[in-house]
């Protein structure tokens, strides 16, 4: 049973380019969460999605960032016109159903985004 798969593992972009980060949840999981981690810090919640729906995007910056989880295919975190401050590790987590019902988050290995 494959775990949460994220790709790419490393992504280098120049300022102003777009970054697309992909996440395939564990088999049978329909809920995806995106977190961001800066060096020496904990994980900061960004967005929670179910298939085709954004449930909670309270942690997402209002501009340049967007996320989707289509009916088919992986969840995508998209960062437009990247700036140096976007450099961080981005982690995706999945759970089989809504976390409010005492579930657990299972994390992928992350995508390290470096903006030059």
Partner 1 sequence: GQQLNQSPQSMFIQEGEDVSMNCTSSSIFNTWLWYKQDPGEGPVLLIALYKAGELTSNGRLTAQFGITRKDSFLNISASIPSDVGIYFCAGQPYNTGNQFYFGTGTSLTVIP
Residue numbers of the site for partner 1 (CB under 8 A)?
4, 6, 33, 35, 41-45, 48, 55-56, 58-59, 91, 98-100, 102, 104-110, 112
Choice between 6 and 24, CB closer to partner 1: 6
Choice between 59 and 96, CB closer to partner 1: 59
User: C-beta of 13: minimal distance to partner 1 in Å?
Assistant: 19
User: C-beta of 40: minimal distance to partner 1 in Å?
Assistant: 8
- Give the start-end residues of each E strand in 1-116: 5-7, 10-13, 19-24, 31-37, 43-50, 53-56, 65-68, 75-79, 88-95, 106-107, 111-115
Choice between 42 and 85, CB closer to partner 1: 42
Question: How many whole angstroms separate alpha carbon 13 and alpha carbon 101?
Answer: 38
* CB atoms closer than 10 angstroms to residue 9: 10
């Amino acid at each position: 049973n494959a775990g949460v798969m994220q790709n790419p593992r490393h992504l280098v972009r120049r300022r102003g380019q777009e970054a697309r980060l992909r996440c395939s949840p564990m088999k049978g999981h329909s809920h995806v969460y995106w977190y961001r981690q800066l060096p020496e810090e904990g994980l900061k919640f960004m967005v929670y999605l179910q298939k085709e729906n954004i449930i909670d995007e309270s942690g997402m910056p209002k501009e340049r960032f967007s996320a989707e989880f289509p009916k088919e295919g992986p969840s995508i975190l998209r960062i437009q016109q990247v700036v140096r401050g976007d450099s961080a590790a981005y982690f995706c987590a999945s759970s089989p159903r809504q976390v409010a019902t005492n579930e657990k988050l299972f994390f992928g290995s992350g995508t390290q985004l470096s903006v030059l």
